[in-house]
Structure 1
Amino acid sequence: MTVSEGTATTTDSVGPVVPDPRILLYPRIRKSPFFWASRRHGVAMYSVYNHTYHPRHYGDPVAEYWALLEGVTLWDTGVERQIEITGPDAFEFTNMLIPRDLSKCAVGQCKYVFITGEDGGILNDPVLLRLGENHFWLSLADSDILLWARGVALHSGMDVTIREADVGPVQVQGPLSAEVMAAVFGPEVLDIGYYRLAEYTLDDMEVVVSRTGYSAEVGFEIYVKNASRDGVRLWETIWAAGEPYGMRVIGPCHMRRIEAGILSHGCDITVDTNPFEVGMGYDWMVNLDQEADFIGKEALIRIKAEGVSRRLAGITIGGPPLGTFNDGSMIESFPVWRGAERVGHVTSACHSPRLEQNIGYAMVPMELSETGTELEVETPAGVVQAVVVPKPFVDPTKDTPKQDLSDGAASDGAASDGAGAGGSASPISG
């Protein structure tokens, strides 16, 4: 076994290793519609997501975690590019891209979906918003689905228009998010059900509000149309409404999403994994009985029949605290060992402040994915013990994000000791 280098600067025969290299800001990489607004709050670290600068944290990810659990937070998630599909055949075409049955998605509803390739691999896991009978947005995780969808459309013979809409979302998340949203949009915004949407005009800005988010807490996303023009103005409007409630600007909180069982495309799910391997092969998520012949259906029928040889498991990990995942503490996947044999890898891991232990996901052989299985994980601190446990780690029934807000009791059950949600979520990932 080999142990990864730690966080300290090291020197080899080439020269010193800079432990925290800067990221270059220049014209070639895209900026979100909220770039200049979120930057004013003191972004400490960016990554690049969908070819766009994305704020990862503002200096103290642990403080951001507690702000999310105890108050209200604002996120620049303009990197969630909206692929808009319209035209007479938009329903049929969109239904062909995903394993979920869109006939069960009403206008005004959102769905967490996979976009699968011909081999059943997961190309992306967006939130789908149905704005009309033949009007859809795919709110993307990090991959070039615009090119994929246009390529599929080119040879489909269907009458569809596919474009990247000038739309950008922000997320308002946390137990006080309902109060802030009501201050901006009026109390009727609290009537929006979980994974539902409504359209508003706000000071001449056209927006779509959905009851979704990547936090597993009570939360909303606000999608502003004409985002290149109105993005900063929307940000300033939300921030002004949130300040009296102690709003804090944060990056996507990976500690919270790992607790919640929320997966990250590019880490936990990739084009080389399928829904059954990542534990999301539910009949409603991968509907193999539907009439629609979606891309990857034949492969997924075969995979389900044959079974999979590996599975993404929840694990607790020993040793010193691992960090927050969005702080550069996990540069590569951690090897998983069973004795002298390498058997898998940890895809995401962090130290959970409230659980006071290291947690994560590991892709391991099926026979090693059962609860209670003991493994070893190679971390930057060395090889430590690990145990397979159920996931999500917190609130497996998603009671917190699904709670009824229409009675005004928005923060009930969502305090710092409250739980989050597992499974579907908005796709901002690592």
Structure 2
Amino acid sequence: MTARRLPTGGTINRDRPLRFTFDGKDYVGFAGDTIASALIAANQRIIGRSFKYHRPRGFFAAGSEEPNGVVDVMVDGRLSPNERATMVALREGMVVRSVNASPTAEADRKSFLDRFSRFIPSAFYYKTFIFPNWHLYDGSIRAMAGLGTIDPDWRKDAPSRQINQSVDLLVVGMGPAGLAAALAATGEGKQVMLVDERSEAGGAARHHDAEVTIDGLTVSDWIEQTVAILGERGALLLTNTTAFGIYDHGLVALNQRHGDGQPDTLWRVRPRETVLATGAIERPLPFAENDLPGILSVDAALFYLKRKAILVGETIVLATNNSATDGAALALAEAGASVTLIDQRSQRPVLSHPRIRLFSGRRITAAKGKRAVGAAILDDGTEIACDCLLVSGGYTPTVHLYSQAKGKLTFDERLQAFVPEATIDGIRVVGAAAGAMTLAEILKDRTISATTPYEMETAWPEAGKKGRIWIDYQHDVTAKDVELAARENFISVEHLKRYTTLGMANDQGKTSNMNGLALMAAITGRSIAETGTTTYRPPFTPVSLQSFAGSRSGPLFNPVRRLPLEQQHRADGAVFLEYGGWLRPAYFGKGVPDEEIRREVLAARQSVALFDGSTLGKIEVIGPQAAEFLDFMFYNTVSTLKPGRCRYVFMLTETGVVYDDGVVVRLSDNHFVVSCSTSHVAGVHAALEDWRQDRFDRKKIFIHNATPNWATLTVTGPRSRDLIDASGIKADLDDASLPHMAITDGYFGADAVRVARVSFTGDRSYEISIRADRAETLWGHLKQVGRGFDACLMGSEALLLLRAEKGYLIVGKDTDGLTRPSDLGLDGPLKNKTVEFVGRRSLMMEAARDENRQQFVGLEVADGGEMLPAGAHSVERLSGRHRSTGYVTSSYMSPTLGKPIALGLVERGLSRMGEIIDIRHFGTMRKARIVTPCFLDPKGERLHA
């Protein structure tokens, strides 16, 4: 390839030269160049090495379909690995390095591997490295695998933006088809968003149809006029933006590249309708050595000529099987190249130009050259010298996004390609992506100057041909590899893909899929339609992990949630710790922590304490099927709960394991509130949503997580009722109307409140829920009134100790990933509940009924020592060694009882009450007695005192 920059033309800014390096060598490009165009203009032929054989590779394409031009890019001290050189705008000072090459692409030390290619075909590693043990080779093979280099010292300077967008219409692709669809939609008053992965609107029409007129305007003028009208109508246009995936419920994900050092932006777009105007990809032609540097697609050569003012060669051979390449041959000849046009079609128009030589009815069978193409050999043996070989095997509609949306494909015999079979709800495919290969077909309602109809002949690879015919450039897959897969019965296209790696990884089969599956069809005697195609998966092109992460890194990876009353608690001397993702008061006061916690516990037991419980879940479930739904979701029966009453419930996983416990409140027949534990709010909400969609009518159940909207302030202790009576809350708080596990509505001033009598301490308690933005006033009033009752502010540590005295468990602390309800002594619902619920079948399995399961119990110190260490194991001696039979889950020194208490999970614990067991911790042995978990007020009299 003897490429050169033309003195005029293109969209580059010749007044802004940009210096950069590639593999340590200095180069100069211009503003408006991509890395690829700057290297091609500098006649840099070898830009990388193939994945397996380390063959020299040059650029083949000009867009995201480029299989060879993958490079690592360093700019402003930041490394971005595995970038497509065709898609990265050139910047001053860029340091570009080839991947999979050492030390450079030109002088790769591993190039010798190509000499042994016959011994390392597809899947050779599955067979070769099985003896004596795969793990002997694992490290070395993994070290050789992969492309690009990761900077271990990489640090994110600025977070990537993530934007959520809703529009009436999203148009993917700003070629004439996409622009026309957007123009029509904006004319109807719709909110429209257009995106295109290139740096400018217009698509391939910018270089393919420059001489065509639309409604009397040149293509370029029509594009500029249309873009201006769309802007005036309020459409949002994003260039350098790739729609890389379509997900559930029509969500379209976009990756916007900024090219100025800013991290990419991730867009999550939820359109009412999506139009896919994604164009088509030019296929390579199959012939021996068709991967040599200097072999490009015709489309790429025309793009570099028209948009970047680069002539890709002086002596060009252009091989084609279709009518879409004549314009490129003329344009290259007009630019000064000598063009030999090899058209396998016997019947084709004469192309008259002094620098064009035409061979009709001929095919290329091989390329010739050592480090780059130097000649093309025809099927009659003719050898034609060239410094650049351009190929076009026809066009494949870009249906990746359509397929991701579960669209079905059908094979079009005229195009010899798969096209969308039918319109998907909410998604339309237009333009070349739908099989319309000319402007006249795309813009039927406009006046288009004469265009050549698209015609082609098949040019698929054939089995048994001599030489190495490359099917997948990126993964070193040849026609012989496909034949080998067929011989070993991997004839399904999905098996072919995995056996050979054809179309895998970031390439996603853009240039390789059709040739590969056509060859498999020929080998197996099937049609291409019968052979089918693989399933395209997102992303369409690779997306930076930084873009997915967005701002979720460092302290924002799992941001701490804050109470509405945080500043008030700080003013009252609270010491904060994190609980379940929330920053909450652990205790109040500046003294010794254990003493402050002891003080709070005693005050709560003897008088009254105030506690901020705003973090508790408040998930509303509303609708005519709400009761039935909650019966299914919880281990306990919910539908029998009366309005105004509460019930303690368990949520199980499908394996029957306890996932969360909490309280369900029934406000009315069709209105419930699920008050789950702090750390499980998001998980419970997600589980409710998942099961609602799975088996219930979504129009009859509505779920709303109102946790952030309400603050819950708890008053607990023997004098809690007195404090509530004096607080001025207007509600019916009489014990007959509001017994334990009941709820009522009321007012504090003009603010609506809910007052629930539920307790996590074992004493009479009231939970008052109020709008979060009104909580400060109520909290201040409760503190003021509480002074007359010796009220104490209480933190989470005291609450945890109070609940342990009562034997109230905390899911995740006093349970593990195997704990089932029967391990807690709760078999009733399993025996009595008649309707299906999540986890029920798993509770009937043999493992769930194992007599040796670890069960929830209380543990008393039996050796006169101090409190048992949390995490210490209960052990038994077996064959001279200790075996763990459980462990201590919670352990405290009880201020109320004046002795240590503990909770734990112990094998067969519920049937071993009173038994003394061994407790081992770091080699130290202790004695403990198994008792019921409730150490205080087992009859529950304090709840009603």
TM-score by length of 1: 0.79
Q: Is the 8 A contact 1:81 1:168 kept in 2?
A: no
The match for 1:415 is: none
**1:129-168 equivalent positions in 2, closer than 5 A:** 129-141=665-677, 142-143=679-680, 144-159=683-698, 160-165=701-706, 166-168=709-711
Cα distance in structure 1, aligned partners of 2:622 and 2:847:
32
The match for 1:279 is: 825
Cα distance in structure 2, aligned partners of 1:383 and 1:393:
24
Measure how far apart 1:308 and its partner are.
4.3
Q: Which moved more, 1:175-184 or 1:250-259?
A: 250-259
The answer to whether residue 935 in structure 2 is matched with residue 393 in structure 1 is yes
The answer to whether residue 607 in structure 2 is matched with residue 74 in structure 1 is no
The answer to whether residue 885 in structure 2 is matched with residue 347 in structure 1 is no
Q: Is the 8 A contact 1:62 1:353 kept in 2?
A: yes
1:103 is paired with a residue of what secondary structure? coil
The answer to whether residue 761 in structure 2 is matched with residue 219 in structure 1 is no
Which of 258, 261, 277 in structure 1 is aligned with 2:804? 258
Measure how far apart 1:344 and its partner are.
1.1
Q: Is the 8 A contact 1:53 1:79 kept in 2?
A: no
The match for 1:417 is: none
Specify the code of the residue in structure 1 equivalent to 2:871.
S
Specify the code of the residue in structure 1 equivalent to 2:646.
C
The match for 2:626 is: 90
The number of residues matched between the two structures is: 367
The answer to whether residue 873 in structure 2 is matched with residue 335 in structure 1 is yes
2:615 is paired with a residue of what secondary structure? coil
Measure how far apart 1:386 and its partner are.
1.0
Deviation by residue 1:287-339 (Cα, 9 ceiling, x = unmatched): 5433321111222244698354221121112465449xxxxxx6x62222234
The match for 1:34 is: 565
Q: Which moved more, 1:185-194 or 1:251-260?
A: 185-194
**In structure 2, do the counterparts of structure 1 residues 68 and 208 end up closer, same or farther at CA, with 3 Å as the change threshold?**
same
The match for 1:64 is: 600
**In structure 2, do the counterparts of structure 1 residues 119 and 129 end up closer, same or farther at CA, with 3 Å as the change threshold?**
same
1:394 is paired with a residue of what secondary structure? coil
The match for 1:316 is: 860
The answer to whether residue 810 in structure 2 is matched with residue 246 in structure 1 is no
Greater C-alpha radius of gyration = 2
The match for 2:195 is: none
Q: Is the 8 A contact 2:732 2:744 kept in 1?
A: no
**In structure 2, do the counterparts of structure 1 residues 125 and 305 end up closer, same or farther at CA, with 3 Å as the change threshold?**
closer
Q: Is the 8 A contact 1:276 1:308 kept in 2?
A: no
Cα distance in structure 1, aligned partners of 2:928 and 2:725:
44
Measure how far apart 1:33 and its partner are.
2.5
Q: Which moved more, 1:244-253 or 1:121-130?
A: 244-253
Measure how far apart 1:238 and its partner are.
1.8
Deviation by residue 1:156-197 (Cα, 9 ceiling, x = unmatched): 232322121112212100111010111122684133101001
Specify the code of the residue in structure 2 equivalent to 1:179.
D
The answer to whether residue 779 in structure 2 is matched with residue 235 in structure 1 is yes
**In structure 2, do the counterparts of structure 1 residues 381 and 354 end up closer, same or farther at CA, with 3 Å as the change threshold?**
farther
The match for 1:17 is: none
Q: Is the 8 A contact 1:123 1:270 kept in 2?
A: no
Cα distance in structure 1, aligned partners of 2:761 and 2:660:
19
Measure how far apart 1:69 and its partner are.
0.9
Measure how far apart 1:231 and its partner are.
2.0
**1:114-193 equivalent positions in 2, closer than 5 A:** 114-141=650-677, 142-143=679-680, 144-159=683-698, 160-165=701-706, 166-184=709-727, 185=729, 188-191=732-735, 192-193=738-739
Q: Which moved more, 1:371-380 or 1:352-361?
A: 371-380
Q: Is the 8 A contact 1:93 1:158 kept in 2?
A: no
Measure how far apart 1:212 and its partner are.
0.7
Larger relative contact order (CA 8 Å, sep ≥ 6): 1
Cα distance in structure 1, aligned partners of 2:898 and 2:790:
26
Identity %: 23
In structure 2, list runs of 5 or more residues that go unmatched: 1-554
Q: Is the 8 A contact 1:344 1:363 kept in 2?
A: yes
Q: Which moved more, 1:367-376 or 1:271-280?
A: 367-376
The match for 1:11 is: none
2:724 is paired with a residue of what secondary structure? helix
2:574 is paired with a residue of what secondary structure? coil
Specify the code of the residue in structure 2 equivalent to 1:215.
T
**In structure 2, do the counterparts of structure 1 residues 153 and 186 end up closer, same or farther at CA, with 3 Å as the change threshold?**
closer
Q: Which moved more, 1:355-364 or 1:286-295?
A: 286-295
Q: Which moved more, 1:356-365 or 1:212-221?
A: 356-365
The match for 1:103 is: 639
**In structure 2, do the counterparts of structure 1 residues 368 and 206 end up closer, same or farther at CA, with 3 Å as the change threshold?**
closer
Cα distance in structure 2, aligned partners of 1:246 and 1:26:
42
TM-score by length of 2: 0.37
**1:355-394 equivalent positions in 2, closer than 5 A:** 355-366=897-908, 370-379=912-921, 382-394=924-936
**In structure 2, do the counterparts of structure 1 residues 135 and 358 end up closer, same or farther at CA, with 3 Å as the change threshold?**
same
Deviation by residue 1:7-51 (Cα, 9 ceiling, x = unmatched): xxxxxxxxxxxxxxxxx89993111223222232212241222x2
2:747 is paired with a residue of what secondary structure? strand
Cα distance in structure 2, aligned partners of 1:155 and 1:268:
31
Q: As a proportion of its length, which structure holds more helix?
A: 2
Cα distance in structure 2, aligned partners of 1:397 and 1:368:
19
Cα distance in structure 1, aligned partners of 2:583 and 2:574:
11
Deviation by residue 1:319-366 (Cα, 9 ceiling, x = unmatched): 65449xxxxxx6x62222234222211111111223332211121111
Which of 824, 835, 855 in structure 2 is aligned with 1:292? 835
The match for 1:426 is: none
Give the superposed CA RMSD: 2.6
**In structure 2, do the counterparts of structure 1 residues 369 and 37 end up closer, same or farther at CA, with 3 Å as the change threshold?**
farther
**In structure 2, do the counterparts of structure 1 residues 378 and 299 end up closer, same or farther at CA, with 3 Å as the change threshold?**
same
Cα distance in structure 2, aligned partners of 1:303 and 1:221:
41
Cα distance in structure 1, aligned partners of 2:804 and 2:625:
38
Measure how far apart 1:264 and its partner are.
0.9
2:695 is paired with a residue of what secondary structure? coil
